C-alpha cells in the first residue's frame, strides 16, 4: 500500500521547522545553532526534520526556503537580527551570497519598475 502524504500537515510541519530555525538563528547565529537547538525549538525529533526537506543539508534547505518565506519572516519580532545573520553568513558561504545577490537584483528591478510606473502616472 502506498503511503499518502497529507500535504497541508506536511506544509504546516515544514513551516514549524522554518519558524524554529529562524528563532534559533536570530538568537544564536548560524554557526552557533545546531540541529539539536532547531529540533528542540520545533518540538520534533532529530530524524523527523529531514522528512520535510528534499536536501539532507538542512542549512541549504533553510536558505532556499527563506527566499520563499522572507515576507512571512518580516513579521518576526527580531527580523533585523535575522537579516544581519543572513548577510554575515553570505561573507562565509557563496551559496548564500548568490541567493542574496539574486534577491537584491530582483528587488532593484522591481523598484525600478515601480518608480518608472509611478513617474508615468504623475
Count the domains in the chain.
Answer: 1
How do residues 97-116 score in pLDDT, each as one tens digit? Answer: 999 999 888 877 776 676 55
Compute how many other C-beta atoms are within 10 angstroms of the C-beta atom of residue 117.
9
Give the residue numbers spanning the domain of 88. 7-121
Residue 76, domain member (yes or no): yes
Residue 15, domain member (yes or no): yes
Residue 46, domain member (yes or no): yes
Residue 63's domain is classified under what CATH number?
Answer: 1.10.357.10
Residue 28, domain member (yes or no): yes
**Cα(10)–Cα(115) distance, integer angstroms:** 39
How do residues 39-50 score in pLDDT, each as one tens digit? Answer: 999 999 988 887
Amino acid at each position: 500500500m502506498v503511503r499518502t502524504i497529507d500535504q497541508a500537515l506536511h506544509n504546516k510541519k515544514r513551516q514549524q521547522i522554518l519558524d524554529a530555525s529562524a528563532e534559533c538563528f536570530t538568537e544564536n547565529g548560524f554557526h552557533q545553532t545546531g540541529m539539536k537547538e532547531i529540533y528542540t525549538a520545533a518540538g520534533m525529533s532529530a530524524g523527523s526534520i529531514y522528512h520535510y526537506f528534499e536536501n539532507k543539508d538542512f542549512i541549504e534547505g533553510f536558505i532556499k526556503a527563506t527566499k520563499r518565506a522572507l515576507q512571512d519572516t518580516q513579521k518576526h519580532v527580531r527580523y533585523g537580527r535575522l537579516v544581519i545573520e543572513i548577510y554575515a553568513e553570505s561573507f562565509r558561504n557563496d551559496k548564500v551570497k548568490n541567493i542574496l545577490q539574486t534577491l537584491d537584483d530582483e528587488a532593484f528591478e522591481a523598484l525600478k519598475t515601480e518608480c518608472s510606473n509611478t513617474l508615468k502616472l504623475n
